[in-house]
């Protein structure tokens, strides 16, 4: 099996003291045959030492627009810093939308590192939704790769269960071990793409939307994770899953469809492209709708729009980001 750890994330109020712990966790996983992609730290206050930080990614969660404005300079200066803005109980106005458009105008590549969150679950190792709640560490995988060679969902599920049990056994005696976020985090194409897996199992993406395939998957990942933490849902990252991006370009992944899938199985709007000429009032309506759905069903949802700072509706993006597939932007509907 190709066992890929997408993220090892340590949560600490004193982030400069946990680099050794991150390296220790990575060493243990590599020793068991895992590939580790990223090391991450989440805190309420990010302090970066002058040396020894390497390529560690960092994230902060802020509870209000005022806090987001206060942290804006730090957010732009630190290239590997992600941030989320919690709007669960906010009276959302164009001011919150303007914050996104200011990021687009100032440094559009940072839209990749920013999300609005609603009823967010703390201690998820996935950025930019990660939020500090208590000391410890959690682990998130790129579990789509485990589907290689699987002809049924059940075969894939068996592999997921084995890998989760292996990780849990490895860290169960570590007091800092918070758990595994069993969210399905697809990326790129082929065996790493969730859409590719769906097509391999039979239905087209369009046909899969009204099937129970996503419900069965989320039921499994919530009930069979030996130590769940964080979000534990399906991610539909529009531009990170390159085969989902192709569905977007064909008009098969509208925001409406994205929200339908998210409401019963997913985690919200993720790396969804936005034109620089998109109507801010549309974004306001979307944020209010996602807030209402999240609060009505007590379900964690997030919204992450991405822009290259240049492309308008009808034009092709140029993200210059290996994790985002360039597409011709469609009007949001």
As a CATH number, domain 4-306 is: 3.20.70.20
pLDDT of 61 > 90? The answer is: yes
What's the mean pLDDT when you consider all of the chain? 96
Residue 268's pLDDT is what? 98
**Residues 308-330: pLDDT tens digits?**
999 999 999 999 999 999 999 99
Check residue 330 and report its DSSP letter. Answer: P
How do beta strands 57-62 and 114-118 pair?
Answer: unpaired
Other Cβ atoms within 10 Å of 56 Cβ, number: 20
pLDDT cut 70: percent of the chain above it: 98
**Residues 72-115: pLDDT tens digits?**
999 999 889 999 999 999 999 999 999 999 999 999 999 999 99
- Residue 301 φ then ψ, to 5°: -140, 155
pTM of the model: 0.96
Residue 49's pLDDT is what? 64
pLDDT of 51 > 70? The answer is: no
Residues contacting residue 157 through CB under 8 Å, at least 6 positions apart: 220, 224
Q: Please answer whether residues 254 and 272 qualify as being in contact, where contact means their C-beta atoms are separated by less than 8 angstroms.
A: no
Check residue 14 and report its DSSP letter. Answer: S
**Residues 161-215: pLDDT tens digits?**
999 999 999 999 999 999 999 999 999 999 999 999 999 998 899 999 999 999 9
pLDDT of 130 > 70? The answer is: yes
pLDDT cut 90: percent of the chain above it: 92
Residue 30's pLDDT is what? 98
Give the 3-state secondary structure of residue 59. strand
pLDDT band for 52, please (50, 70, 90 cuts): low
Residue 180 β-bridge partners: 139, 228
Higher-pLDDT residue of 244, 16: 244
pLDDT band for 267, please (50, 70, 90 cuts): very high
Instruction: Write b or e for each residue in 221-237: b if 16 or more Cβ atoms lie within 10 A of its Cβ, otherwise e.
Output: beeebebbbbbbbbbbb
**Residues 36-50: pLDDT tens digits?**
999 999 999 877 766
Radius of gyration, CA atoms only, the chain: 19
Residue 162's pLDDT is what? 98
pLDDT band for 54, please (50, 70, 90 cuts): confident
Least confident piece of the model among 23-32, 38-47, 148-157: 38-47
Angle CA 3–120–67, to nearest 5: 120
């Amino acid at each position: 099996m190709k066992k890929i750890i997408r993220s090892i994330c340590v949560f600490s109020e004193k982030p400069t003291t946990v680099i050794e712990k991150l390296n220790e966790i990575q060493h243990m996983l590599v020793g068991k045959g895992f590939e580790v992609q990223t090391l991450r730290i989440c805190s309420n206050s990010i302090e970066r030492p002058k040396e020894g930080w390497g390529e560690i990614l960092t994230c902060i969660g802020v509870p209000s627009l005022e806090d987001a404005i206060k942290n804006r300079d730090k957010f732009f200066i630190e290239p590997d810093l992600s941030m989320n803005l919690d709007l669960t109980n906010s009276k959302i106005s164009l001011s919150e939308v303007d914050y996104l458009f200011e990021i687009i105008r100032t440094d559009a590549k940072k839209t990749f590192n920013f999300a609005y969150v609603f009823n967010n679950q703390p201690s998820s190792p996935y950025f930019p939704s990660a939020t500090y709640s208590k000391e410890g560490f959690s682990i998130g995988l790129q579990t789509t790769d485990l589907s290689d060679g699987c002809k049924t969902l059940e075969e894939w599920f068996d592999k997921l269960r084995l890998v989760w049990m292996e990780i849990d056994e490895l860290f169960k005696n570590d007091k800092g071990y918070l758990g595994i976020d069993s969210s399905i985090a697809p990326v790129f194409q082929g065996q790493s793409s969730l859409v590719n897996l769906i097509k391999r199992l039979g239905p087209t993406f369009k046909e899969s939307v009204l099937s129970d395939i996503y419900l069965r998957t989320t039921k499994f990942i919530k009930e069979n994770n030996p130590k769940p933490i964080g979000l534990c849902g399906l991610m539909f990252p529009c531009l990170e899953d390159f085969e989902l991006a192709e569905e977007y370009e064909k008009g098969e992944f509208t925001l409406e469809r994205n929200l339908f899938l998210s409401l019963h199985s997913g985690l919200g709007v993720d790396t969804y492209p936005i034109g620089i000429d998109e109507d801010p009032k549309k974004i306001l309506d979307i944020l209010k709708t996602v807030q209402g759905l999240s609060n009505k069903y007590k379900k964690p949802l997030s919204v992450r729009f991405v822009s290259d700072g240049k492309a308008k509706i009808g034009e092709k993006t140029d993200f210059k980001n290996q994790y985002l597939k360039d597409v011709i932007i469609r009007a949001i509907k």
